[in-house]
Amino acid sequence: MNIAQAIDHTLLKPEATERQIRTLCSEALEYQFAATCVNLCWVPLVSDLLRASQVKTCSVIGFPLGATNTKAKVYEAQQAIDQGAQEIDMVINIGWLKSNELSKVAGDIKAVRSATSSPLVLKVIIEAAVLTDDEIQTMAKMCVDQGADFVKTSTGMHPAGGAKLEHVSLIKKMVGNRAEIKAAGGIRTHVELMKFIQAGATRIGCSSSVQIMQEASCPKIA
């Protein structure tokens, strides 16, 4: 399999510089990753650098806390799209979920979905590491019901941790083939990436993408 097409090459650190973003795009073009995922302020630059390629420009919305209101998320999504983003990764409002305000969570996703109509891709970040198994299942179903293309495990920024294999398996059991799964947060090796793909993820968000591709080309001899 072409693992490059399963990778979102990612740089979301607040201290990321223009030089680093340019390097990110250069690496994405070299390896032909599925997408390059950046904060909204870098979308114009990234979309320009990737314009003549098959590599998609992806922006995060409501990142990393998910605690902005729905209008703000919709505005962010519209701004990202107007500036060239083809994929949107939005963070759910975890506080609403924990408060059992499920209609508000659903409305949040639905509103951003309405602003990112097909062929734009919407990935919904549920921050699985801070959820119970029941909450993960609830959110996986809700994401599908509200039209998300992907359920994404994590922002990679929460102290509770990033992607876990058991969470991917749980999401896969819930969504089947109705949505895809993106695993993100802490995936740094080719071996780890392949385990997540085997568990059901079809997209991997990581910043160690080049290292992973080098490991895949030159596997270590046991």
Catalytic residues: 89, 152, 182
The tokens for 126 are 């549920």
Chain CA centroid to CA 5, Å: 14
**Residue owning tokens 């390059």:** 36
One-letter amino acid of 91: V
Nearest to 131 by CA among 106, 94, 163: 94
Identify whether the C-beta of residue 80 lies closer than 8 Å to the C-beta of residue 107.
no
| 122 three-state secondary structure | strand
- Cα separation, 153 vs 205, in Å, equals 10
The tokens for 205 are 């968000």
**Distances in whole angstroms, Cα of residue 171 to Cα of each of 73, 164, 168:** 24, 11, 5
**Residue owning tokens 């993106």:** 182
- Radius of gyration of the CA atoms of the chain, in A: 16
One-letter amino acid of 56: K
